[in-house]
Structure formats: structure tokens, C-alpha cells
Amino acid sequence: MLSNFLSFVENIARDQVPMITMIVLVLISVPPLYLPHYGGIAINFSLLGLFYWSVYKPQLIHLFTAFLLGLFYDFLAGVPVGMFALIFVVSRALLGIYSGRLGAANFLSLWLGFFLFVVGTSFTGWLASSLWYGVFLDPVSVLFHAILTVASFPFGTVLLVWISRKVYQVG
């Protein structure tokens, strides 16, 4: 009976790994550095986590989880409340549709998919922020931010694959 209970607890804990890694990635994405213009070039690791887990473990990142993670990001980053919550929910829904094809793709195709994902989310965030503040925000910093985020994909993916293999005993 104790082994059944421990197995149950282990399965519950294993199912929470994508959410826990996403929380850590949100915390890393919004460091408390008060450097001028740092927010415009900071790498958004949370997009990497959302993309990876939505492609490889879509059943563990629900829309409500994406919403809560987006709200958490909104509060930490100081952006309009609900902006990244909406972006995360829409992104998770769209990635859920294409997760089967992306999961079977080779690395370069996956990286191209991540590029399109980051460009779409960055443009949406830029547009929403520009409308919210009523000012045309600098698109160069958003472009630079997107380039840095896309460039981090191989390194972040290696870490997430390692975590996934350790937790889910794959390969």
C-alpha cells in the first residue's frame, strides 16, 4: 500500500515538472537588474519553456497553466496585466495544434518553428504595449530581444531535453 501511495506521489510530482521549470524560466527571464534598457534586450526564456513543453508534453501545460504563468510574468516584468497571459494562452493553444508535427520535426525545423513563434509573440507584445501606452515603442529593441531569444534556443533546448530525459526516463 505504501508503494502505491509513493508511486502516486511520484507521478503527481513528475507531472508538475513542466510547470516548475516554467516558473524558474519566468524568474530567470525577469531578473531584478535595474540597468538602463536591459528589459529591451533580456532573453525571454519563458518562451523557450512554453514552446518546448507545449511541443513535447502538451498534456502537462494546460491553457489555465499558461494563463497563470503569463500573469506571473506580467507582474514580474511590469507590463500591462494580462498581456503575456493572453500571449501565453494563445501561443499554447496554437502550439497544441501543431505539436504533433513539430515534435516529429528535425532540429532545424523545430528551430525555425521557434523563430516564427518568438517573432509572433514579440510583435504581439510590442503592438499591445504600443497601444496600451499610446506611444510607438522602439521596434529595434524588440527585434534585438527576439534575435537573442532565438539564438538561445539550442542551449535552452539541451537543458530542457536533459531535464525531460531525467524525469521521464526517455532514451
Is 57 contained in some domain? yes
**CA neighbor of 55 nearest in space, from 171, 169, 161, 167:** 161
Asked if 157 and 48 touch (Cβ cutoff 8 Å), the reply is: yes
Q: 144 by DSSP, 3-state: which?
A: helix
Pair 89, 67: CB distance under 8 Å:
yes
Q: What are 75-126's pLDDT values in tens digits?
A: 988 888 889 999 999 999 998 888 777 777 788 988 999 999 999 998 988 8
The three-state secondary structure class of 90 is helix
Q: Is 167 within a domain?
A: no
Give 45-69 pLDDT, tens digit per residue. 999 999 999 998 888 888 999 999 9
Q: At what angle do helices 107-133 and 139-151 cross, to 10 degrees?
A: 150
Could you report how far apart the first and last alpha carbons of the chain are, in Å? 30
Question: How many structural domains does the chain have?
Answer: 1
Domain membership of residue 165 (yes or no) is no
Q: Is residue 143 part of a domain?
A: yes
Q: Is residue 10 part of a domain?
A: no
Express each pLDDT in 155-171 by its tens digit: 999 999 899 888 887 54
The DSSP H or E segment spanning 34 is none
**Residue 9 is assigned to a structural domain of this protein:** no
Q: Does residue 37 form part of some domain?
A: yes
Domain that holds residue 133: 17-159
Asked whether residue 166 is domain-assigned, the answer is no
Tell me the torsion sign for CA atoms 149, 122, 129, 80.
Answer: negative
